[in-house]
Structure 1
């Protein structure tokens, strides 16, 4: 029975509600900060329509819009 109590003591921090709430609060604050930085237009790099080699990319929008995978991803992102 001694072993069982030792195990409980070792894992007690998993059941510490106050500690959990403090960690959760920190995570949510970091997520909020990251979101605000990502949405800040001054901090975003300029969008380019060129690939890594500098060649202009040409996108056939009809082909893109008829692509099931593309539409699935757009749906996940909330775009219909």
Structure 2
């Protein structure tokens, strides 16, 4: 379904959103909701990527000896977990 919304977003410069939604049988409200949620999805992905990087760094610094419990404890100590 998000492919339809991406298409509408890409074509909105050429055609009215109302027409695109009618032709593709989607509601305008769902199209706008998808658009508004895109920023939240990007922010969540950036936060996930930053956390994954920090976990990797902690694991490498421990010479790959720390497992999940110690990494979790260290993240909580640093205020990220």
Structure with larger RCO (C-alpha < 8 A, sep 6+): 2
Q: Whose Rg is larger? A: 1
Q: Shorter-chain TM-score category?
A: 0.3 to 0.5
Write 1 or 2 for the structure with the bigger share of helix: 2
